[in-house]
C-alpha cells in the first residue's frame, strides 16, 4: 500500500543532511523536470517583486525567496520531516518505533509541486512552490507535471493500492486511476453534514498514521475502511471513495 500525502506550505527551515542531490531522490524519471524547476526558482529569486507575484508572497515572506535562492546549497532533511503543519502533526511520524516506523517510511509518499513525487526518506531542502503557483512565461505546473507524474504514479499503482490523501490542486498534478480517495465530513446531532475544512488535514493525518503503521496490507477500499474502523474511526464507503465522519 502507498499512502499519498499532500505537502505543506510550512516547512522546517533547518537541516542536517548534505545539499540536494537530485540523483539521490526516488523516481529518477522526474529528475529533468525537478532540475528545470529548481533552475527557474533560483533565477526567479533574484527578482523579488516577480517572485512574490509568482509564488503569492508578501514582502514579509521574503525569507521564503531566500530559501529558494539556496535550493542547491542548503542542508536537507528527509521529506517526511521537512513538511510541518496540521496533517504532519497528526501523523506524528517521529513517535513511531520499530517495525511500525519502517512500514510508515516505506508506504508514505508526498506529492510535491517542485519534486513531483517523494518517498518519505528522500532528502530535500526547504522551498516555496505551490501547485497553484505560476512561474513567469511557463504553462501551469499541472500542465508541466501531468505527462511525467501520471506514468510514474501508474507504475507504482500497478502492484500496490494507492490511498490518495492529496488536496485537489495537488491531485491535479497527476491523477491516479483506481486510487482510494478520502473526504472528511462533520455530522451534527440531527444528522446534518458539512464538509470539514479547518480540521480536514488533521483527520487525514490521523488516517495516514493508522494506515502507514498497520500490519495489514489492504488491497481494496473496503480493506482500508476496515483498518480505519478498527482504529476507532467512523468511515463510510462508496466504491473506491471513503468518507470519514466526525462529530460537528
Query: Quick check: helix, strand or coil at residue 9?
Result: coil
Q: Tell me 60's DSSP state.
A: G
**For residue 199, is pLDDT > 90?**
no
Residue carrying the nine cell digits 468518507: 243
Query: Measured between alpha carbons, how far is 21 from 24 in angstroms, rounded to an integer?
Result: 5
Average confidence (pLDDT) over 86-102: 97
* Cβ atoms within 10 Å, residue 141: 24
pLDDT at res. 216:
97
Average confidence (pLDDT) over 186-213: 92
Residues 6+ apart with CB under 8 A from 95: none
pLDDT-based confidence at 196, cuts 50/70/90?
confident
Question: How confident is the prediction for the chain on average, in pLDDT?
Answer: 96
Q: Tell me 56's DSSP state.
A: T
Can you spell out the DSSP letters for 88-142?
A: HHHH-GGG--HHHHHHHHHHEEEEETTTEEEETT-EE------TT---TTS--HH
Average confidence (pLDDT) over 28-57: 97
Query: Measured between alpha carbons, how far is 142 from 38 in angstroms, rounded to an integer?
Result: 16
SS3 assignment for 197-212: CCCHHHHHHHHHHHHH
How far, in whole angstroms, is CA 54 from its chain's centroid?
21
All cell numbers assigned to 47: 527578482
Compute CA distances 213 → 89, 99, 228, 245, whole Å.
Answer: 15, 8, 11, 21
pLDDT tens digits for range 43-70: 999 999 999 999 999 999 999 999 999 9
Would the pTM count as exceeding 0.85? yes
pLDDT tens digits for range 126-182: 999 999 999 999 999 999 999 999 999 999 999 999 999 999 999 999 999 999 999
Amino acid at each position: 500500500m502507498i499512502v499519498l500525502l499532500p505537502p505543506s506550505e510550512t516547512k522546517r527551515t533547518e537541516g542536517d543532511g548534505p545539499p540536494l542531490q537530485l540523483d539521490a531522490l526516488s523516481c529518477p524519471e522526474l529528475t529533468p523536470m525537478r532540475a528545470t524547476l529548481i533552475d527557474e526558482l533560483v533565477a526567479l529569486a533574484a527578482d523579488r517583486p516577480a517572485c512574490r507575484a509568482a509564488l503569492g508572497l508578501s514582502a514579509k515572506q521574503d525569507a521564503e525567496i531566500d530559501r529558494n535562492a539556496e535550493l542547491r546549497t542548503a542542508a536537507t532533511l528527509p521529506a517526511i520531516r521537512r513538511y510541518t503543519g496540521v496533517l504532519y502533526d497528526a501523523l506524528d511520524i517521529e513517535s513511531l518505533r520499530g517495525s511500525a516506523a519502517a512500514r510508515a517510511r516505506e508506504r508514505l509518499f508526498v506529492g510535491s509541486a517542485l519534486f513531483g513525487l517523494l518517498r518519505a526518506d528522500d532528502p530535500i531542502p526547504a522551498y516555496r512552490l505551490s501547485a497553484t503557483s505560476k512561474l513567469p512565461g511557463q504553462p501551469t505546473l499541472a500542465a508541466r507535471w501531468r505527462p511525467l507524474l501520471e506514468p510514474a504514479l501508474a507504475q507504482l499503482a500497478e502492484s500496490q493500492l494507492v490511498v490518495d490523501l492529496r488536496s485537489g490542486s495537488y491531485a491535479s498534478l497527476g491523477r491516479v486511476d483506481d486510487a482510494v480517495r478520502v473526504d472528511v465530513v462533520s455530522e451534527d446531532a440531527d444528522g446534518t453534514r458539512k464538509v470539514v475544512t479547518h480540521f480536514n488535514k488533521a483527520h487525514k493525518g490521523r488516517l495516514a498514521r493508522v494506515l502507514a503503521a498497520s500490519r495489514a496490507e489492504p488491497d481494496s477500499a473496503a480493506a482500508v475502511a476496515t483498518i480505519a474502523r478498527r482504529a476507532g474511526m467512523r468511515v463510510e464507503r462508496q466504491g473506491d471513495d471513503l468518507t470519514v465522519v466526525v462529530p460537528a
